[in-house]
Amino acid sequence: MFSNISEAAAETWKQFNEGYEEGSNWLRNMESKARQSFSLRSSLTDKQQALDDYRKFMGDIEGRADHFRELSRLSQVLLESCSDAGFIEQVAQFKSRYATLVEHAKVIFPNLCYL
């Protein structure tokens, strides 16, 4: 019985670590894209391209929402059996980075209208 519990816990940690690594790499890439400054666009074609880029950016974010929900679920399971302050801080920072990215993306759109 204890063997099954520890195997399940080890599998949960493995899933979380793999998902965290993948999500962290994706976040780093998307944060870099979000920091790109949008310069003034002089032509309608350039403005349309900026809007298309934004739509793709938002699609990427929305497409990853399930991944981040699953990581959140796994972290909750792990937090039930682990009260390590470092892990708690790591999870909190990760969730904060994702939330900040989503909020930043929402702010970009109104600014596209003035480019």
pLDDT at 62: 93
Assigned fold of 2-29+48-112: Methane Monooxygenase Hydroxylase; Chain G, domain 1 (1.20.58)
Q: Give the C-alpha separation, 105 to 115, whole Å.
A: 16
Note whether 57 and 33 are within 8 A (CB).
yes
- Say if pTM beats, i.e. exceeds, 0.85: no
pLDDT at 81: 83
Supply φ then ψ for residue 82, to 5 degrees: -140, 125
pLDDT at 115: 52
Note whether 19 and 90 are within 8 A (CB).
no
pLDDT at 92: 93
Q: Provide block-wise average pLDDT over 10 residues at a time, the chain (115 residues).
A: 73 94 96 74 80 88 94 92 87 94 83 62
pLDDT at 37: 59
- Residue ranges covered by each domain of the chain: 2-29+48-112
